[in-house]
């Protein structure tokens, strides 16, 4: 199972020329409802699969880059080294690896990917790729998992002076259903978001200083924010996973919670190697529409987290109706791949009902591409999984992720990402 150090050129996902003919935000036409995802920026209707694939999908990617998330750099050559292996993990059921990925030029940050692969069933395994808030060491009670060296927010359990301590280990294990995931035949992979970009309003650390257009004080208004950087990090992890002989490169699912749910959706929308996308309670700037919000607003998220999006997005704080897209179009970029939006009843800040409207808004694109899309247009009852390719789930409770949520994720994956 041991893998040698690997070096390869990563896949580059093509897009249109960035912002080639896009006007200033103040000159965009106001649109009150959700903009039609099947209409080009110039108003031309999109009626065929070919028009979507060759014209509208690339255009939407460029629009999201230009006005909201910022443009990430092309994938660099990637070095991967397996540094720690336990061939008898979970009482012999799995093999645990910690893989260090160098994701940029000399001196750039390194991403440490925790990878746990079940021994059964035979053959390449599907994999859940996740991104975590406080380090791989918080996911399991395991004293051998390496601590991250990047800056960490002090609200992370057991963190002192922005770095983890032994008291941090396993503190978030109840948020994750890792062993159950292994028992269901899925591999599990995760990395700390701060390995790529620490979650603070400072573009002098993480990956940003290694790309000149992102450095302050000369930061480009369309330069990538933290969410784009984290999504780019997920894509670099995918670069590695698709080469692993024990993993099925056709069955890679991504999952994230809250701001990292926004991240997972962006990664899945832009990268078609990802087969299934689960943005959990992703809310504003992720799965909830910016127009007529039932929870957090664009202004509120930009004021509180100015580093998450590109600076251009702030120009829509008071005029969200000028956005030439809304978040249903980001979901539509995943088509025809399955997407599950999962929520909690008391998490009004994430706008659960607005998220269901985003699925309804993305449905025409799924139908155009021959997918069932959203099988029931009616808002579902509590704890009823809508398991169609455009899926939805809402449970009692608040803003959190737990092992019960993971059971739903696994059920959705069993239905929508079966062995081929």
Domain count, the chain: 1
Tokens of 231: 């999504």
Q: What is the pLDDT of residue 262?
A: 99
Q: Average pLDDT across each block of 10 residues of the chain; the chain has 420 residues. List them in order.
A: 35 41 95 97 98 98 98 92 97 98 93 98 97 98 97 96 97 95 98 98 91 62 95 98 98 98 99 99 98 94 98 98 99 99 98 98 99 97 98 98 97 90
Identify whether 130 is part of a domain.
Answer: yes
Give the whole-angstrom CA distance, residue 67 versus residue 25: 8
Q: What is the pLDDT of residue 191?
A: 99
Order of all β-strands in the sheet with 78-88: 6-8, 78-88, 94-102, 110-118, 187-192, 125-132, 247-257, 276-280, 339-344, 390-395
Identify whether 34 is part of a domain.
Answer: no
Place of tokens 């005029």: 319
Q: Taking a C-beta distance cutoff of 8 angstroms, is the pair 317, 377 a contact? A: no
Give the whole-angstrom CA distance, residue 312 versus residue 291: 17
Tokens of 215: 């450095």
Q: What is the pLDDT of residue 21?
A: 83
- Residue ranges with strand state E in 208-338: 247-257, 276-280
Give the whole-angstrom CA distance, residue 367 versus residue 336: 8
Identify whether 61 is part of a domain.
Answer: no
Sign of CA pseudo-dihedral 223, 110, 283, 39? positive
Place of tokens 């509120």: 300
Catalytic residue (one of 163, 348, 399, 400): 399
Q: What is the pLDDT of residue 7?
A: 33
Identify whether 216 is part of a domain.
Answer: yes
198: containing domain = 6-14+70-416
210's CB contacts (< 8 A; 6+ apart) are 104, 105, 107, 108
Give the whole-angstrom CA distance, residue 96 versus residue 94: 6
Long-range contacts of 55-60 (CB under 8 A, 24+ apart): 57/333, 58/14, 58/15, 58/16, 59/16, 60/325, 60/329, 60/332, 60/333
Identify whether 28 is part of a domain.
Answer: no
Q: What is the pLDDT of residue 204?
A: 87
CATH number of the CATH domain containing 238: 3.40.50.1820
Identify whether 284 is part of a domain.
Answer: yes
Q: What are phi and psi for residue 342, nearest 5 degrees?
A: -115, 145
Q: What are phi and psi for residue 72, nearest 5 degrees?
A: -80, 155
Predicted TM-score (pTM) of this structure: 0.94
Place of tokens 């949520």: 405
Catalytic residue (one of 62, 258, 329, 388): 258
Q: Give the count of beta carbons closer than 10 Å to the beta carbon of residue 399.
A: 16
Q: Taking a C-beta distance cutoff of 8 angstroms, is the pair 322, 312 a contact? A: no
User: Pairing state of beta strands 187-192 and 125-132?
Assistant: parallel
Identify whether 226 is part of a domain.
Answer: yes
Q: What is the pLDDT of residue 12?
A: 34
In the residue annotation, 163 being an active-site residue is answered as no
Identify whether 43 is part of a domain.
Answer: no
Angle made by CA atoms 349, 290, 335, in degrees to the nearest 5: 105
């Amino acid at each position: 199972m041991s893998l040698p150090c690997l070096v390869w050129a990563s896949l580059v996902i093509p897009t249109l020329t960035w912002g080639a003919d896009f006007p200033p935000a103040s000159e965009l036409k106001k649109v009150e409802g959700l903009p039609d995802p099947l209409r080009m920026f110039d108003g031309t209707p999109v009626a065929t699969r070919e028009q979507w694939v060759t014209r509208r999908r690339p255009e939407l990617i460029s629009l999201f880059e230009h006005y909201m998330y910022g443009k990430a750099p092309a994938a660099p050559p990637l070095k991967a080294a397996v540094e720690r292996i336990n061939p008898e993990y979970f009482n012999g059921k799995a093999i645990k690896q910690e893989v260090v990925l160098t994701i940029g030029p000399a001196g750039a940050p390194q991403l440490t990917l925790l990878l746990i692969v079940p021994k059964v069933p035979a053959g390449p395994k599907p994999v859940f790729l996740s991104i975590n808030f406080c380090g791989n060491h918080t996911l399991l009670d395991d004293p051998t998992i390496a601590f991250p060296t990047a800056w960490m927010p002090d609200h992370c359990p057991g963190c002192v002076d922005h770095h983890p301590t032994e008291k941090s280990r396993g503190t978030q294990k109840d948020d994750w259903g890792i062993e159950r995931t292994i028992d269901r035949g899925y591999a599990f992979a995760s990395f700390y978001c701060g390995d790529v970009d620490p979650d603070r309003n400072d573009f002098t650390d993480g990956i940003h200083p290694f790309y000149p257009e992102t450095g302050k004080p000369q930061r480009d208004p369309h330069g990538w924010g933290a969410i784009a950087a984290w999504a780019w990090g997920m894509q670099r992890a995918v670069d590695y996973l698709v080469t692993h002989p024990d993993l099925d490169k056709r069955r890679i699912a991504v999952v994230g919670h809250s701001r990292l749910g926004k991240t997972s959706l962006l990664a899945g929308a832009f990268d078609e190697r990802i087969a299934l996308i689960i943005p959990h309670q992703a809310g504003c700037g992720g799965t909830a529409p910016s127009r007529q919000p039932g929870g957090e607003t664009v202004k509120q998220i930009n004021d509180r987290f100015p580093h998450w999006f590109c600076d251009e997005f702030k120009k829509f704080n008071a005029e969200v109706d000028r956005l030439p897209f809304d978040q249903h179009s980001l979901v539509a970029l995943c088509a025809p791949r399955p997407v599950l939006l999962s929520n909690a009843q008391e998490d009004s800040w994430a706008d659960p009902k607005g998220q269901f409207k985003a699925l309804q808004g993305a449905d025409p694109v799924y139908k155009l591409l021959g997918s069932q899309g959203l099988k029931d247009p009616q808002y579902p009852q509590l704890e009823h999984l809508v398991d169609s390719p455009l899926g939805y789930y809402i449970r009692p409770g608040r803003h959190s992720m737990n092992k019960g949520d993971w059971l739903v994720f696994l059920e959705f994956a069993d239905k929508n990402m079966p062995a081929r």
